[in-house]
Chains A and B, each alone.
Chain A
Amino acid sequence: MAFRDVNARRHIGLQQLSSLALAGRTLLGPVKSCKFIVDESTNQSTLICSAVRLIESLDLTSAAGQLLNETIQAQNKEFKTGMSTLLFLVGAWSNAIMECLQQNVPVSAIVSVMSEGLNSCCERVQCLQISIHDVNKELCSSSVRPNTFKSKTCQIGCDSLPNPQLFLYFQKDISVPEVIPINSCSHQDDDCNFKKHLVSPLAGFGSVASLVKPVGDKSTSVISRSGVTTSSCNKQKLTHSRYFSTLGKSYFSSQQGNFQGYLLGTSADSCECCGLGHLAMALSHGNETSMKLLQSIVTYQQERAEHSGSSQFNVAEIVTCCLLGLPESYSCASPGFVTLVSPEQVTVVEYFEDKLLRILLIDGDLTERYRHLGFNRSCNVRTIVEHPRLQEEDLWLSRMLDNLINFEVNLVLVKGNVCENLMERCIANSILLISSVTWNVLCSFGEVTGAQPVTYLTQLNASFVGSGAQVELWKACDGRAMDLGELVPVRVKARGIPLLTAVLTTTIASKMQLIEDQFWTLVYRLHHALNDKKVFLGGGAVELLCLSHIQMLAEQPLQPANQNAVKEFHNPWLAASATEYKSVVLQALASGWKQYLLVVMCNTTAASELEACTSVDHHLRKAADCGSPSAYILKEFRRGDLLRDGAGPFAGHREGLKVYDNVTAKTEAWRRALDLVLLVLQTDAEIITGPRKNQLLNSHASSEYMFL
Chain B
Amino acid sequence: MSRLEAKKPPLFITEPLTKDGVSQSLSLLSGILKSCYGPAGRLKQLHNGVGGYVCTTSQSSAILSRLPVSHPVLGVLMASVQNHVSRFSDCGLFTAILCCSLIENFKSLNIASCTVIKISKHLLSFCMDYLKSEACGCRVAVDFSSVETLLCLVRSILRSKPACMLNKTEVDHLTTLIVKAFLFTVPCHAESNAVLGKCVIVPMKGRRVVDSTVLPGLLIETPEIQLANPLTIKRTSSNTIKIALFCVSMSGDSFNPEEGTITVHHGISLEMSELNQLLDVGKQLVNDEVGLVVCQKVIHPSLKQYLKENSVMAVDRAGLSLMEPLSRMTGSKPIASIHLLSPSCYGSLKDVDIESFASKNFVHLIPNDTLVCSLILCNRNETAWDELKRACETAEHVLQLTLKEPLALLGGGCTETHLASYIRHKSCSLSTSSFEDTDCSQAEYQLVAEGFCRSLESVARSLNHDDGEILTDMVYGHCWFVPPGFPPVSNWSDLVSKCGCGINGNSENLKWRLLQGQFGSPVIHDCPKEPLVKIADFLTLDCYAAKCSGLQVALETAHLILDLLYVIKDQN
Q: List chain A positions with a Cβ less than 8 A from chain B.
A: 1-3, 6-7, 13, 60-61, 63, 66-67, 70-71, 74, 77-78, 106-109, 111, 115-116, 119, 363-364, 371-378, 380-387, 439, 443, 446-447, 454-456, 458-459, 566-574, 576-577, 580, 668, 671-672, 675-676, 678-679, 682-690, 692, 696, 706-708
- Bound-state Cα–Cα, A414 to B462, Å: 62
Residues of B within 8 A of A (CB): 25, 28-29, 32, 35, 39-40, 42-54, 56, 63, 66-71, 74, 159, 162-163, 165, 167-169, 205-208, 224, 226, 228, 249, 251-253, 255-257, 259-266, 270, 297-298, 300-302, 305, 316-317, 358, 380-384, 412, 464-468, 480-485, 495-499, 501-502, 538-540
Q: Is the CB of B466 within 8 A of A66?
A: no
Closest-CB distance, A391 to chain B (whole angstroms): 11
CB contact between B383 and one of A372, A573, A679, A690 (< 8 Å): that residue: A679
Given A571-B39, A574-B40, A689-B46, the answer on whether A443 and B466 have CB atoms closer than 8 Å is no
CB-CB under 8 A from A443, the residues of chain B are 226
Q: Is the CB of B264 within 8 A of A383?
A: yes
**Residue contacts A-B, CB under 8 angstroms, 5 given:** A107-B466, A111-B162, A119-B167, A577-B484, A580-B483
Query: Within the complex, which residue of B42, B69, B262, B540 is in contact with A382, where a contact is CB–CB below 8 Å?
Result: B262
> A577 touches which one: B43, B468, B499 (CB < 8 A)?
B468
Residues B43 and A679 in contact, CB atoms below 8 Å apart: yes
From A67, A108, A386, B265 is in contact (CB under 8 Å) with A386
Given A381-B255, A684-B44, 15 more contacts at CB 8 Å? A6-B45, A71-B381, A74-B382, A374-B249, A376-B251, A384-B264, A386-B265, A386-B266, A569-B168, A570-B539, A572-B499, A684-B43, A689-B47, A708-B29, A708-B71
Determine if B52 and A66 form an interchain contact, defined as CB atoms under 8 angstroms apart: yes
Given contacts A380-B261, A570-B539, A708-B28, contact A683 B467 (CB under 8 A): no
Residue in chain A with minimal CB distance to B385? A74
Cβ-closest chain B residue relative to A386 = B266
- Give bound CA distance, A338 to B464, whole Å: 63
Contacts A106-B467, A382-B262, A668-B208; is A70 near B29 (CB within 8 Å)? Answer: no
B167–A61 contact, CB under 8 A?
no
Shortest beta-carbon distance from B109 to chain A in Å: 25
A459–B42 touching, CB < 8 Å = no
B47: contacting residue among A111, A376, A384, A686, CB under 8 A = A686
Q: Determine if B485 and A580 form an interchain contact, defined as CB atoms under 8 angstroms apart.
A: yes
Q: Is the interface of B mostly helix, strand, loop or mixed?
A: loop
Could you tell me if A689 and B305 are in contact, using CB atoms closer than 8 angstroms? Answer: no
Q: Closest CB of chain A to B228's CB: distance in Å? A: 7
Most chain A CB within a 10 A radius of its CB, from B169, B380, B482: B380
Knowing A571-B39, A687-B46, A690-B49 touch, does A374 contact B265 (C-beta < 8 A)? no
Q: How far is the CB of B227 from chain A (nearest CB, A)?
A: 9
CB distance from A472 to the nearest CB of B (A): 27
A570 contact set on B, CB distance < 8 A: 412, 498, 501-502, 538-540
Closest to A667 in B: B208
Q: Which residues of A have CB within 8 Å of B69?
A: 1, 708
The residue from A7, A580, A672, A687 contacting B381, defined by CB atoms under 8 A apart: A672
Of the candidates A111, A668, A708, which one forms a contact with B67 in the assembled complex, judged by CB atoms under 8 Å apart? A708
Partner of A439, one of B224, B270, B484: B224
**Contact in complex: A573, B35 (CB < 8 Å):** no
> What is the CB-to-nearest-CB distance from A27 to chain B, in angstroms, rounded to a whole number?
21
Are the CB atoms of A1 and B67 closer together than 8 Å?
A: yes
Chain B residues contacting A2 (CB-CB under 8 Å) are 49
Q: How far is the CA of A372 from the CA of B297 in the complex (A)?
A: 12
How far is it, in angstroms, between the C-alpha of A577 and the C-alpha of B39 when the chains are bound?
15
In the assembled complex, the Cα of A685 lies from the Cα of B382 at a distance in Å of 19
**Residue from A60, A70, A569, A685 in contact with B45 in the complex, judged by beta carbons closer than 8 Å:** A685
Contact A675 B264 (CB under 8 A): no
State the CA gap A60–B52 with chains docked (Å). Answer: 9
Inter-chain contact B384/A679, CB cutoff 8 Å: yes
Instruction: Give Cα distance in the complex from A107 to B50, angstroms.
Output: 28
Bound Cα distance from A374 to B249, whole angstroms: 8
Cα of A611 to Cα of B85 in the assembled complex, Å: 59
Contacts of A706 in B (CB 8 A): 28
Interface-central residue, A119, A566, A574, A685, by most chain B CB under 10 Å: A685
**Could you say which of A74, A371, A573 contacts B380, with CB atoms under 8 Å apart?**
A74
Number of A-B contacts (CB under 8 A): 245
- Contacting residues, chain B, for A686 (C-beta < 8 A): 44-47
A376–B260 Cα gap in the complex (Å)? 16
Distance in angstroms between the alpha carbons of A108 and B162 in the assembled complex: 10
Alpha-carbon distance between A61 and B483 when the two chains are bound, in angstroms? 37
Evaluate whether A682 and B162 lie within 8 angstroms (CB atoms) in the complex, with A77-B206, A378-B253, A688-B49 already known: yes
Complex Cα gap A364–B302 (Å): 13
Q: For the complex, what is the distance from the CA of A572 to the CA of B480, rounded to whole Å? A: 9
When chains A and B are docked, how far (Å) is the Cα of A66 from the Cα of B266?
A: 54
Neighbouring B residues of A3 by C-beta, 8 Å? 28, 32
Cα A376 to Cα B358 in complex, Å, equals: 32
* A685 and B468 contacting across the interface, CB-CB below 8 Å: no
Residues of B within 8 A of A116 (CB): 167
Residues of chain B within 8 A of A382, CB atoms compared = 261-264
Chain A residue nearest to B316 (CB atoms) is: A374
| Closest Cβ–Cβ distance, residue B166 to chain A (whole Å) | 9
**Cβ B265 vs Cβ A63 within 8 A:** no
CB distance from A566 to the nearest CB of B (A): 7
Given A454-B305, A568-B538, A570-B538: A682 touches B383 (CB 8 Å cut-off): no
Do the beta carbons of A688 and B28 come within 8 Å of each other? no
Q: How far is the CB of A104 from chain B (nearest CB, A)?
A: 8
- Counting from the closest, the 9 A-B pairs by CB-CB distance are A374-B298, A573-B481, A577-B483, A570-B502, A455-B301, A106-B466, A684-B42, A688-B49, A378-B256
CA distance A77 to B499 in the complex (A): 44
Q: In this complex, what residue of A is CB-closest to B53? A: A66
Q: Decide: A459 near B261, CB < 8 A? Known: A706-B28, A708-B28.
A: no
Do A685 and B464 touch across chains, with their CB atoms under 8 A apart?
no
B481 to chain A, nearest CB (A): 3
Contact call B257/A380, Cβ cutoff below 8 A: yes
Partner of B252, one of A63, A115, A375, A689: A375
Q: CB-CB < 8 A to A678: which residues of B?
A: 165
Across the interface, which residues of A come within 8 angstroms of B50, CB to CB? 61, 692
- Bound-state Cα–Cα, A384 to B266, Å: 5
> Quick one: given A63-B47, A454-B301, A708-B29, are A682 and B42 in contact (CB under 8 Å)?
yes
Do A566 and B44 form a contact, CB below 8 Å, given A378-B253, A387-B266? no
Contact of B484 among A106, A115, A377, A685 (CB under 8 A): A106
Nearest Cβ in chain A — how far from B27, in angstroms?
11
Specify which chain A residues have a CB less than 8 angstroms from the CB of B252 in the assembled complex: 375
Determine whether the beta carbon of B167 is less than 8 Å from that of A683. no
Bound: A7/B31 CA distance, A: 14
Bound together, the chains give a CA A170 to CA B286 distance in angstroms of 68
The one of A372, A447, A679 that contacts B298, using a Cβ cutoff of 8 Å: A372
User: Residue of A at shortest CB range from B70?
Assistant: A708
**What is the CA–CA distance of A384 and B71 in the complex, to the nearest angstrom?**
61
Chain A residues, CB < 8 A from B317: 374
Interface core residue of A107, A381, A387, A707 (most chain B CB under 10 Å): A381
Taken together as a complex, chains A and B put the C-alpha atoms of A708 and B466 apart, in Å, by 25
Docked pose: A7 CA to B45 CA in angstroms: 12
Most chain B beta carbons < 10 A, residue from A7, A577, A707: A577
Which of B53, B298, B495 touches A576 (beta carbons < 8 Å)? Answer: B495
Which has the most chain B C-beta neighbours within 10 Å: A7, A119, A363, A375? A375
Say whether B301 contacts A683, CB under 8 Å: no
Question: Residues of A contacting B539 with CB < 8 Å?
Answer: 570
Is B265 within 8 A of A383, CB to CB? Answer: yes
Q: Which residue of A lies closest to B299 (CB)?
A: A374
How many angstroms between the C-alpha atoms of A212 and B501 in the bound complex?
73
- Is the beta-carbon distance between A74 and B381 smaller than 8 angstroms? yes
Q: Tell me if B485 and A577 are in contact (CB < 8 A).
A: yes
With A119-B167, A447-B228 known as contacts, the answer to whether A573 contacts B468 (CB < 8 A) is yes
Is A381 a contact partner of B270 (Cβ separation < 8 A)?
Answer: yes
**Nearest-CB residue, chain B, relative to A570:** B502
